[in-house]
Chains A and B, each alone.
Chain A
Amino acid sequence: MSTLLQLLLRSLETGAIYALATLGIIIVFRTNLMINFAQGVMGMFGTYIVTFMFQKVLFVKSTEAGLAQQPALLLSILVGVIGAIAIGFIVDIVVIRRTKKVAGIGKEIITLGMMMIFLGVTPMVFGVDPMRLPKVIESGEFTIGGANLSYNSLLNILIGIGLTVALFLILQKTKLGLAIRTTASNERTARLMGVPTKWVTLFAWALALVLGTLAGVMIAPSTSVTLNLMDSVQVNAFIACVLGGFQTFYGPVIGAYIIAIASNLLAYYVSSVWGTQILYVMVIIFIVFKPVGLVGKKITKKV
């Protein structure tokens, strides 16, 4: 029983990371009608900003001043988030606004181009050596129902759930949320109705960058900060989008948590080697039987 609880808690932490990455993909998809293949790389870049600020600037300063590393780390994350917002603005203004007329798969190819730019810029700015990023809460854990949970994992779980809930409140209750939902449902009509769709896409890209960066900061302590930090997160986020369905905002988040829980359970109870493959095959079979995802709606086409 305690093993199961332990697994579920760990899944919630992984699920939080997947959910943030998934939200980044889905908010860009809904407002711009394009799949952002650069989402993972953008999150990686944001994480690099955080790590670089921490390792090369603030950590040095704070140890000189004899301070603990926590404030420096939090400040680095803040810098990273601001940087992510700035990059989101630049991406939207410089590239995405010009893609309105690009048809078909061209938009996705443009995100591939952006991905290559980020992959090239990162070693130029931050160097080629992998870096390490510590946890926000370094140590300490507590026990519930026989399962151990570190305070840092608890923080990640809460951030994941908290940000998701906050985002849905924004989407449902505020004027900005209304603008986003209108743009998502029909960009052209929304513009005709006076919705400032330019601001909506600007917000969407900045948000995608911030969510990606936070997901990167969450996953970074368990590995090292390299160019392919977010690769597997991104693939899982895409699969979560399909599992949940592209038509809603909440479907993909549900999908993200399902993927996280299922992959941990399969890895523990079935096979640590073949767990992921079994999960992906199950997702494929699910999509074959329910082609629009868990909560998707079928769009009927007219001839």
Chain B
Amino acid sequence: MERKKSFSMNYYLRYLIFGCVMALLPLLTNAGILKTSWIGIIGGTIIYTIAGLGLNLLLGWSGLISLGTAGFMGLGAYISAYVTGDLGLPFEVGILLAVLIPLVFGILIGLASLRMEGLYLGIVTLCVSEVLRKTFDELEPVTGGFSGKQANFPTLLGIFKLNQQSTYIFLVVIMVLLMMLTYNLANGQLGRALNAMRGSQVAAQAMGVSLLKYRLIAFSLATAFASLSGALYVHFIRFVYPSTWTLPVSLVIMALIVIGGLRSVFGTFIGALIVYAMPDLVLKNIPVIGDINGLSYVLSGVLIIIVVLFYPGGVINLFYKLHSVITGGGKKKAALPQTGEEQESMEETHE
């Protein structure tokens, strides 16, 4: 396949350009074109996207359900806040520990996951998440209990003290790197193995795909992404409460990858934008109805239902359809390695 790669086909370039566009946001808010609150909201979207990318590897590519994302995000957040705040260690060490410690849990769940299927796995991971959340409540010396825990904006390499805007840029950089990583993983040997596992475990085993190995990898990646996003959360929002990390957070992250498009890297971001940022950015600014308490919640709930009912491939497929209508070709299908098989695989049930 030594075709000349066209400009639009080079995924790395796409991610880089996307990152550059995202990094322009602080300029726009400084110029007064957009409100300063946008930085906080889009930053939150990026954090959700990072957790979503990990869950997409798990749910999208390997077809395993996890409802434990919230617990691991919280664990990452608390570890990083404790290590950088109470122990006074550098930011990088905090992030590293915040990813490594949850990783142990991820590997354990991966091992346990070999014994169970579908919904049982989902609720066992929910169990793990609840154990972690209750521990955040009770382990006061480390987590600060109900009153929460504070953290600072990151200081990179001990020299560069970041403020909110530069932390936002830092988030964008991390997200673009992780998008490239996810794209590489998903389109390489790992992605093929996970796809095979999703299709049929028995068939995958017969083809020489080790269930143990790939389930462990899938769960470790999802946990690592989730805890990293939690660690970034605590350094961006600068505060963390135990009551944040409940079931709805895990469900929202699951919803955003289904809405954006399973097995799609950009789709994860678009899903996060719709689920997380849309209520704050758009719906609350509509005159009259934006002022009604709770209406933005209702509208995003309706939106979620409509997208799942009528666009089962996710919003990202809408873009691809539009794209192929505009450029007028079925041949474009080859350019979409991630979503090309969307239609057929959405039809096979996982029950």
Q: Which residues of A contact B (CB under 8 A)?
A: 33, 35, 37, 95, 98-99, 102-106, 108-110, 112-117, 119-124, 128, 231, 234-235, 238-239, 241-242, 246, 273-274, 276-277, 280-281, 283-284, 287-289, 291-293, 301, 303
| A107: nearest chain-B partner, CB-CB | B308
Pair B127/A280 contact, Cβ less than 8 Å: yes
Partner of B294, one of A33, A115, A119, A231: A119
Pair B135/A277 contact, Cβ less than 8 Å: yes
Pair B301/A115 contact, Cβ less than 8 Å: yes
Q: Quick one: which of B295, B300, B305, B346 has the most chain A CB within 10 A?
A: B305
| Closest CB pairs A-B (n = 9) | A120-B297, A116-B301, A113-B304, A120-B298, A117-B301, A120-B294, A113-B305, A291-B116, A113-B301
| B186 in contact (CB, < 8 A) | no
Separation of A95 and B310 alpha carbons in the complex (Å): 12
Pair A273/B246 contact, Cβ less than 8 Å: no
- Which B residues are in CB contact (< 8 Å) with A37? 247, 251
Pair A287/B304 contact, Cβ less than 8 Å: no
- Which B residues are in CB contact (< 8 Å) with A109? 251, 254-255, 258-259, 304, 308
| Chain B contact patch, size range | 35 or more
| B347 in contact (CB, < 8 A) | yes
Separation of A282 and B131 alpha carbons in the complex (Å): 11
What is the CB-to-nearest-CB distance from A28 to chain B, in angstroms, rounded to a whole number?
A: 13
Partner of B120, one of A121, A124, A287: A287
Decide yes or no: A112 and B297 within 8 Å by CB, A99-B309, A124-B292, A276-B134 being known contacts: no
- Which B residues are in CB contact (< 8 Å) with A241? 123
| B109: nearest chain-A partner, CB-CB | A284
Decide yes or no: A113 and B308 within 8 Å by CB, A103-B346, A235-B247, A303-B202 being known contacts: yes
Q: Which residues of B contact A (CB under 8 A)?
A: 59, 65, 112, 115-117, 119-120, 122-124, 126-128, 130-131, 134-135, 138, 200, 202-203, 246-248, 251-252, 254-255, 258-259, 292-305, 308-309, 312, 346-351
Q: Quick one: which of B294, B302, B309, B348 has the most chain A CB within 10 A?
A: B294
Pair B130/A105 contact, Cβ less than 8 Å: no
Separation of A140 and B295 alpha carbons in the complex (Å): 43
Pair B126/A235 contact, Cβ less than 8 Å: yes
Separation of A105 and B66 alpha carbons in the complex (Å): 11
| A281: nearest chain-B partner, CB-CB | B131
Decide yes or no: A115 and B248 within 8 Å by CB, A102-B308, A103-B312 being known contacts: yes
- Which B residues are in CB contact (< 8 Å) with A273? 138
Separation of A291 and B300 alpha carbons in the complex (Å): 36
What is the CB-to-nearest-CB distance from B315 to chain A, in angstroms, rounded to a whole number?
A: 13
